Amino acid sequence: MIDILKFGVPIRVRLTLWYVFLLAVTFVIFSVYLIFRFQDSLVTAVDNSLQITVSHTIASFDQEDVDERDRLTISRSEPPQGMNPNFGMRLISSQNEVWDTSGKLQDQSLWGATEAGYSTQTERETGAEWRVFSQPVLTSRGQTVAWVQAAQSLSPVKDTVNDLRVQLLLGIPLVLLFAGLGGYFLANRALRPIRQITQTAQEITAQDLSRKLAYRGARDEIGSLAMTFDQMLERLRSSFERERRFTGDAAHELRTPLTVLKGQIEVALNRRRSPAAYEKTLQELSAQVERLIRLSSGLFFLSRSDQQKLSFEPVDFDLQEWLEILVEQLEPLAREKGLKISLNVPADLSVYGDSDHLIRLFLNIFENALKYTPMGGQITITALKVPEETQILIHNTGPGISQEHLPHLFERFYRVEADRSSQTGGSGLGLAIAHEIVLLHRGEIDVQSEPSQGVTVTVHLPDRPHP
């Protein structure tokens, strides 16, 4: 059944078939239980009737007649069970001599042994079953002088049980039919929003991800599916928009140095120049090539980060010594702008991380600080040890950054418009790369700035995780 339901059958039909199948199994199990319980209750009723009849018959005997051990007879004033053709009773002595009978008589062998209690006997010719109850007649001294046996045919019980079985066999299919129709109606109604979702989803394309399902139904499983689908569409839209912006910005950033290279090469080829002019042109070409190399390197790094293919080999290292080496590399650039760099790092402060990635991280931040700090300004690098992490703060003096730009500083190719010029250069990837490196170390990075108060970049590096 499961293999058949897998292929080409609508889900509403499968749900209905499973519902009907489970309901049928439930009905069958319940019907079997009901029949056995009903038959058992009918047999119990027969047993109780036989016991009452026998007890009433024994109670009708005169105790003096019983004590004399003479022949006893069954009272005729009130025949036991009336004229019931399926009932019989006999009175026999303790030596199995039949003293009296009432109702339908059975063969001697079908009455069974004279033992107190119930037994079930079967007729040889017809196969009919009889329920027999036997009880002794006792004298006042407790001696058995006779036995009273009553028998009731079980044919009415079997007929009643068979009638119930037939009614169930006829009724269950009708119940299953109505249940199946009702189940199909409910399944079709419950799955109707799925068709609407499917139709809307087919109309959504990569060029039009702004559409939403806007499901207005109940907040059930289907409502949850619709809301999840809308959330997925929003993520896809943001991702596509980010990728389109990334691709456009990358093309723009690549086109600018390539255009400059092409123009300078054509100018150099079109007219003769002095060796000094050629040398200057080559230096300019070298600067543009360097810019291309830095841009392609940044793009490659971000691509590998998106694919989670960055190497990561963290170790413990001395932060003070390590930062001093980086600052020494920046000193020549700082002197050109008259900037002062101060380093405030406690001795013996170690951090846990990948040295190569962290070098790239802090060089990007330091270079941004050098780039946007005005002449004669100052850059302060401070390290703090706080519970469970180390904080490195890089503050530079200057005009600062407007609040509306702060949430976007770590986006790729994002630059404050006032600074997006050839004077500052850069590709807008520095802080994006720094952000990816910090995430690789399971840390955080944030930027704080106030107008005319400069900029403070804080890097949070967590301690070595416990084994």
Q: Find the CATH number of the domain harbouring 252.
A: 1.10.287.130
The residue-averaged pLDDT of 383-404 equals 89
Report which of residues 277 and 91 the model is more confident about: 91
Check whether residue 279 and residue 320 sit in a common domain.
no
pLDDT at 70: 67
Of 146, 161, 176, which closes a domain? Answer: 161
Q: Are the C-beta atoms of residues 301 and 433 closer than 8 Å to each other? A: yes
- Domains: count for the chain: 3
Nearest CA-CA partner of 295 in 461, 412, 195: 412
Check whether residue 101 and residue 16 sit in a common domain.
yes
pLDDT in tens, 228-261: 878 887 787 777 777 777 676 667 667 767 777 7
Q: For the chain, how many residues are written?
A: 467
pLDDT in tens, 165-209: 898 888 888 888 888 888 888 888 777 777 777 777 777 766 666
Read off the pLDDT band of 8 (50, 70, 90): low
Which domain covers residue 371, as residue numbers?
A: 315-462
Q: Find the CATH number of the domain harbouring 325.
A: 3.30.565.10
Expressed in percent and rounded to 5, the helix, strand and coil fractions of the chain are 55, 20, 30
Check whether residue 34 and residue 157 sit in a common domain.
yes
3-state per-residue secondary structure call for 254-321? HHHHHHHHHHHHHHHHHCCCCHHHHHHHHHHHHHHHHHHHHHHHHHHHHHHHHCCCCCCCCEEEEHHH
Of 133, 161, 189, which closes a domain? Answer: 161
Check whether residue 28 and residue 149 sit in a common domain.
yes
Check whether residue 108 and residue 151 sit in a common domain.
yes
Cα separations in angstroms, 96 against 90, 145, 150, 356: 11, 10, 15, 112
Cα–Cα distance for residue pair 447/455, rounded to 1 Å:
7
Minimum mean pLDDT range among 65-69, 119-123, 270-274: 65-69
pLDDT at 420: 44
Cα separations in angstroms, 168 against 172, 184, 395, 449: 6, 23, 87, 82
Q: Is the residue at 108 inside a domain?
A: yes
Q: Is the residue at 252 inside a domain?
A: yes
Read off the pLDDT band of 106 (50, 70, 90): low
Read off the pLDDT band of 368 (50, 70, 90): confident
Check whether residue 296 and residue 326 sit in a common domain.
no
Range from 110-124, 256-270, 420-434 that averages highest in pLDDT: 110-124
Check whether residue 130 and residue 249 sit in a common domain.
no
What mean pLDDT value characterizes the chain?
Answer: 81
